[in-house]
């Protein structure tokens, strides 16, 4: 499974890299803090996988990186995706390394 660090993701964002960002957390988690990705909660991925682009890089993230890794395994095995990157450490790493101002909000999760 391919992965990307939060600093690499930040560089992609700052450099206007062409990629899709997918958040597989629950809506209540996304309401607390978000990276502004497309919200497709993990349990809805089997029904909504068509929303995930197969023609460009896709970064999948969750709270810590575990749910997103499971989603990526499912998509690669069941639907042949080859363009997916797991965000290492999820939004927790983003808060720690990129945007500490999100920390107080994330503690509510």
- Cβ-based burial of 62 (10 A; exposed 0-12, middle 13-18, buried ≥19): buried
- 107: pLDDT strictly greater than 60: no
Both structure tokens of 10: 């930040």
Query: Is residue 14 classed as helix, strand or coil in its secondary structure?
Result: helix
Active-site residue, from 62, 84, 91, 102 = 62
Both structure tokens of 94: 């983003």
- Give the closest residue to 60 by CA, choosing from 80, 79, 45: 45
- 104: pLDDT strictly greater than 70: no
Percentage of the chain modeled with pLDDT above 70: 94
Looking at residue 109, its pLDDT comes to 46
**First-to-final CA distance of the chain:** 27
62 labelled catalytic? yes
């Amino acid at each position: 499974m391919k992965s990307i660090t939060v600093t690499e993701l930040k560089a992609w964002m700052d450099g206007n890299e062409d990629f899709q960002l997918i958040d597989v957390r629950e809506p209540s988690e996304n309401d607390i803090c978000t990276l502004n990705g497309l919200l497709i909660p993990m349990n809805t991925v089997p029904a909504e996988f068509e929303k995930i682009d197969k023609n460009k890089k896709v970064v999948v993230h969750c709270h810590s990186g575990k749910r997103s890794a499971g989603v990526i395994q499912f998509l690669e095995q069941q639907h042949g995706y080859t363009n997916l990157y797991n965000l290492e450490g999820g939004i927790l790493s983003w808060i720690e390394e990129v945007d500490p101002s999100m920390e107080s909000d994330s503690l509510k999760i």
